[in-house]
Structure 1
Amino acid sequence: MKKTLFLLTLSLLIISCNNKQEKQINNGLSSEEKIDSTKIKTLFNSALTQGKSYEWLRDLTQNIGGRLSGSKEAAQAVIWGEKLMKEVGLDSVWLQPVMVPHWIRGEKEIATYTTNGVQKNVAICALGFSVATPKTGVLAEVLEVKSLEDAEKLGDKMKGKIVFFNRPFDNTLINTFGAYGGCVDQRVQGAAVCGKFGAKGVIVRSMTNSVDDYPHTGTMTYNDLPKEKHIPAAAISSKSANILSKDLQTNPNLKFYFRQSCKTLPNAPSFNVVGEIKGTETPENIFVVGGHLDSWDLGEGAHDDGTGIVQSLEVAYLFKKNNIKPKNTIRIVFYMNEENGTRGAKKYAELAKFNKEKHIGGLESDAGGHTPRGFSIQANNSNTALVQSWKKLLSPYGLHDLDKGGSGADIAPLQAENVTLVGYRPDSQRYFDYHHTSRDTFDKVNKRELELGSASMASIVYLMDKYLYNNQIVKP
């Protein structure tokens, strides 16, 4: 009897708490907004109790792994993505051919230097599109700089030297993507700047807030330098960068050695994977939801961007699960080659223009699978204001940030005056612990955070489909 009474009391307490939460969420909403609020709550409930994204991600990362453009793993991921879209039951699924760069890393890179009679090993990895060192490697004195401008000032003093770019993240910036943007130019442009002055190589501090021994790869370019001036470029771990910088203070003439065997092969055939739910009223209007299927080769491409891929497809899954029939066509796109060329995004936009398709909006997830914080908005002023007016519907789920900003590299080519693009923005504090490293693996993704992201994305797509209908603002 006591047990029965306890369970009854507990049930009543749960019901009371749920009702109180429901009232708090719906407080101050119009009748139409209450309908929206109920629909959003349903999407979250479904994602958190019946979501598929986590197991999809497990399959992608554990059974395929890293998916660098042109690789056999990238080709396997295309087959995986097409099959999965069909299993979810999208109205149509197809592959969109695109030629992509094919760069390979080769043998594991090696780096060492000796100071005060002690040899030190350095955690290092080649940067994407870098040339190899000679087979015997590169050995030279090191010049440390903090910026591209510092390097330019050295001019011919760089000849025959290895230039060490050592500008760290600005850790006073709360948004770590801002810190990344503040120093990634040294990784991308360092070899182009130093190669023209005859440097023998470039090493770059890894792009991360953390001080650890995991080097971060990423793309780089030689711009229009002639091939004979292309020099090898690599990233060293942030911990190694700190130690090297300190050793250079006491032994400025130390010589650094590194060897890498990467190379660029001819372009390879690949595909974007595309599927859609046809709109019920204006199917010619298209909302794109997507992320990039490729990843760097060092890890499993879990946060970058496996999470974005599975969340994008889960938007469609949640719509179908809850019998939400969009007015406009919702198109899911797994883009190929975001990491080192954005060829997939460019091909998608090119074909959209050629086929005279009418895109009215887009959502991209390419910022990891951590706790949802909101969305960045790339739109005209009136549509930006409309999206920001949904804060009262989204904030109960932690989606407080609705600010103007970039949407994402893959949907950005669709930008136009009446196209509303948004980027999914989870918490960024841990993202650069894993970004472009061997640590970007499935076990670093939290199931609940991933599912909350899927529901967040589904919710804003629901609102965009309803209120940005036919490029006309429909007031609630």
Structure 2
Amino acid sequence: MKKLLFLLMLIGISLYGQEKDSLMLQKIYTSALTQSQCYTWLDSLSNKIGARLSGSKGAALAVAYTQKEMKALGLDRVYLQEVMVPKWVRGPKETAYALVGQQKIEFPICALGLSVGTSKNGLTAPIIEVKSIEEMIALGDRIKGKIVFYNRPMNPEFIETFQAYGSCVDQRSSGAREAGILGALGVIVRSMNLRLDDLPHTGMTNYKDIPAAQRIPAAAISTRGAEQLSALIKAHQNLSFYFNQQCVYEGDVLSYNVIGEIKGSEHPENIMVVGGHLDSWDLGDGAQDDGAGCVQSIAVLELLKKLHYTPKNTLRVVLFMNEENGIKGALKYGEEAQLKKENHILAMESDSGGFSPRGFSIDASEAQYAKIVGWKSLFEPYLIHVFQKGHSGTDVEPIASENIVKVGLYPDSQRYFDYHHAGNDRFDAVNKRELELGAATMTALVYLFDKYSMP
């Protein structure tokens, strides 16, 4: 009888705990949807500051703005962490056309990040289409003196759009390097986008350590432009293509990660990080990538303070600089954390857009993962149902602690690549309610993680 009473008591305690957690999550979501400033912050970041490519004036203004807003929240500490970042300048708007007899057929292009420019007068050469780097390499000497056109689309069969992106992004990141080694003169890459439109999508290309003489200009072409160019190549043998881009790398300059924190009341030595990257590409204003993630991360601290919740562990927001073309901010933060022997127990990143949250992508031990999955029922009233093992985020990867759990916010990604790295990545593409729901979802997980010790 005593054992039965003890068991009933434990069940009662457990149910009481779940009820308290359920009420706390309800308060978090209500507060996020009625009181959070995250949408207002994003408005300022996007519309008053705009594009924030590392090393630019916009990036510097964003550092000052977010530092000021975090100080206004009354956090225990707000500070800047110095980091050297590349300064790459796009220059005048790029131009491109195919020559069909005397006719010039124009195409929308944009230089890939960190690409070298063409000569002042541009580049004209025969263009050759391939579907992969491997196909290009197999052509050998036929590549010399040509412009290589990589035209492998994102695979629409993948329901998970980041899987579709990962299956073809190598042609953007490595295509220019591999083509330059074989003597190509330039590279045109199909934009990483699942829909047909006229917007070229930029992104970094990486020459690594190849000699300067082999570094050839690389540009992205819109998906509709890629379809049209492919048809022209098939119809006209030895088609000539022209493009002109005057981008230039101006060396590394000083910038900052922006950091704010609430000191833990019981275990200040244990650090929980939430963050996004403050830099953006220069074509739009970076509202989805990753202004949304930055303001959601600040909102985690904002919401817990509004609800008068004092974390047991130190809660830190980090706005990383230079994710888009070098991840120097993330590397610097990880390096400094190692030197200081900081113990990070959680690192959560939001860098998949401000769309409706669906759950989390979790990088953790089996025991830690099981613990988090055990909270799933608390999230179901908010339509949060995805608790999957997987990649957490580029900026939290360099953070290394023995028992750290890394988490990526997992929003609905079906429309993300319509905006990713393109000129339409603007504030009006972000839905206020979806943004706030994402902030609440991150806050809820931080609350539960802080309350319950991980195994």
Aligned to 1:9: none
Q: Distance in 2 between matches of 1:285 and 1:34?
A: 27
Matched, 1:239 2:224: yes
Aligned to 2:62: 77
Task: Indicate if the aligned counterparts of 2:321 and 2:328 stay in contact, CA closer than 8 A.
Answer: yes
Change over 3 Å in CA distance of 1:173–1:417 after alignment to 2: farther
Match of 2:39 among 42, 54, 61: 54
Q: Distance in 1 between matches of 2:72 and 2:237?
A: 61
Kindly provide the CA deviation profile for residues 55-79 of structure 1, in whole angstroms up to 9, marking residues without a partner as x. Answer: 1100110010000000011011100
Show structure 1 runs of 5+ residues with no match. Answer: 1-28
**TM-score, structure 1 as length reference:** 0.92
Task: Indicate if the aligned counterparts of 1:98 and 1:270 stay in contact, CA closer than 8 A.
Answer: yes
Match of 2:309 among 321, 324, 330: 324
Match of 2:200 among 215, 218, 223: 215
Q: Distance in 2 between matches of 1:277 and 1:375?
A: 23
Percent of matched pairs sharing the same residue:
54
Q: How far off its partner does 1:107 sit?
A: 0.8
- What letter matches 1:52 in structure 2? Q
Matches within 5 A, 1:22-421: 30-115=15-100, 117-421=102-406
The 4+ residue runs of structure 1 with deviation greater than 3 A are none
Show structure 2 runs of 5+ residues with no match. Answer: 1-13
Task: Indicate if the aligned counterparts of 2:63 and 2:258 stay in contact, CA closer than 8 A.
Answer: yes
Match of 2:411 among 426, 440, 463: 426
SS in 1 for 2:311: coil
Matched, 1:437 2:427: no
Aligned to 1:24: none
Q: How far off its partner does 1:116 sit?
A: 5.7
Q: How far off its partner does 1:252 sit?
A: 2.5
Task: Indicate if the aligned counterparts of 1:113 and 1:121 stay in contact, CA closer than 8 A.
Answer: yes
Q: How far off its partner does 1:30 sit?
A: 2.2
**TM-score, structure 2 as length reference:** 0.96
Q: Distance in 2 between matches of 1:224 and 1:67?
A: 27
Kindly provide the CA deviation profile for residues 269-289 of structure 1, in whole angstroms up to 9, marking residues without a partner as x. Answer: 000000101111001100000
Q: How far off its partner does 1:416 sit?
A: 4.4
Q: Distance in 2 between matches of 1:196 and 1:186?
A: 14
Kindly provide the CA deviation profile for residues 383-415 of structure 1, in whole angstroms up to 9, marking residues without a partner as x. Answer: 011111111111211111110001101111114
Q: Distance in 1 between matches of 2:142 and 2:162?
A: 33
Kindly provide the CA deviation profile for residues 174-228 of structure 1, in whole angstroms up to 9, marking residues without a partner as x. Answer: 1111100110000000011100111010000000001000000000111221111
Kindly provide the CA deviation profile for residues 227-277 of structure 1, in whole angstroms up to 9, marking residues without a partner as x. Answer: 111100000000000001011111131100000000101100000000101
Q: Distance in 2 between matches of 1:114 and 1:396?
A: 58
Q: Distance in 2 between matches of 1:262 and 1:339?
A: 16
- What letter matches 2:92 in structure 1? E
- What letter matches 2:205 in structure 1? M
- What letter matches 2:133 in structure 1? L
Q: Distance in 1 between matches of 2:74 and 2:162?
A: 35
SS in 1 for 2:446: helix
Q: Distance in 2 between matches of 1:296 and 1:341?
A: 12
SS in 2 for 1:414: coil
Task: Indicate if the aligned counterparts of 1:379 and 1:417 stay in contact, CA closer than 8 A.
Answer: no
Equivalences, count: 443
Q: Distance in 2 between matches of 1:179 and 1:417?
A: 32
Q: How far off its partner does 1:115 sit?
A: 2.5
Q: Distance in 1 between matches of 2:255 and 2:433?
A: 32
- What letter matches 1:276 in structure 2? E
Task: Indicate if the aligned counterparts of 1:380 and 1:417 stay in contact, CA closer than 8 A.
Answer: no
